[in-house]
Amino acid sequence: MLNGKKVIALGERDGVSGPAIAACAEAAGAEVVFTATECFV
């Protein structure tokens, strides 16, 4: 579904982390170019 797409994975500290989103995107065929987990207050 995401073959050939580039993804920026932004996670949330109290929710889903950036690396978890990146792993899902990579499994779907995307290239993850940036991963971060931030605290959005």
Q: Is the pLDDT of residue 21 over 90?
A: yes
For residue 17, give its domain range: 6-38
Instruction: Identify the pLDDT of residue 41.
Output: 79
Closest CA to 8 of 27, 37, 34: 34
Q: What is the mean pLDDT of the chain?
A: 94
Overall average pLDDT of the 25-36 stretch = 97
Instruction: Identify the pLDDT of residue 10.
Output: 95
How many domains are contained in the chain?
1
Who contacts 4 (Cβ-Cβ below 8 Å, separation ≥6)? Answer: 29, 31
Query: Is 29 domain-assigned?
Result: yes
Rounded Cα–Cα distance for residues 6 and 39 (Å): 23
Overall average pLDDT of the 6-28 stretch = 95
Rounded Cα–Cα distance for residues 32 and 40 (Å): 21
Give the predicted TM-score (pTM) of the model.
Answer: 0.86
Query: Is 1 domain-assigned?
Result: no
List of E strands, 1-41:
6-12, 31-38
